Amino acid sequence: MVQYTGAHLDASFAALSDATRRGVLEQLGRADASITDLAEKFRMTLTGMKKHVGVLEQAGLVTTEKIGRVRNCKLGLRRLEEEAMWIERYRQLWEARFDELDKVVEGSKRKERVDGRRKK
């Protein structure tokens, strides 16, 4: 039922195509962590980890928040769900509108045919 947009899926797949990033998601599924924690855990430079987290953040899979001098990371799945739900509701609104619009234009077309016949 929930439909993700193309651009979003691309970003998500790109983010998940890397083993380290999948590991980071797994790690954050257990507990929130700072970039420093993650860099240590994955034996990586701070800059390298920042890049990975950046990709995950872009895809909406992770959210980060700076608390003092530490950047804290946590899973952003809720956010992604929220967006998918919102888009689904937006779709429902437009579907309901277009169903009514179909009726309105059918009415206009009928009226035009009747008026056209009268003119002849």
Q: Under the rule (CB under 8 A), what is the footprint of another protein?
A: 1, 3, 5-8, 82-83, 85-106, 108-109, 112
> Closest distance between another protein and the C-beta of residue 53, in Å?
18
> Could you please report the per-residue DSSP string of 63-103?
EEEEETTEEEEEE-HHHHHHHHHHHHHHHHHHHHHHHHHHH
For residue 58, the minimal CB distance to another protein (Å) is 10
Cα dihedral sign for 43, 47, 53, 59? negative
* C-beta closer to another protein: residue 53 or 63: 63
| Min separation Cβ 27 and another protein, Å | 26
- Which two tokens mark 120? 């002849």
Question: C-beta of 37: minimal distance to another protein in Å?
Answer: 27
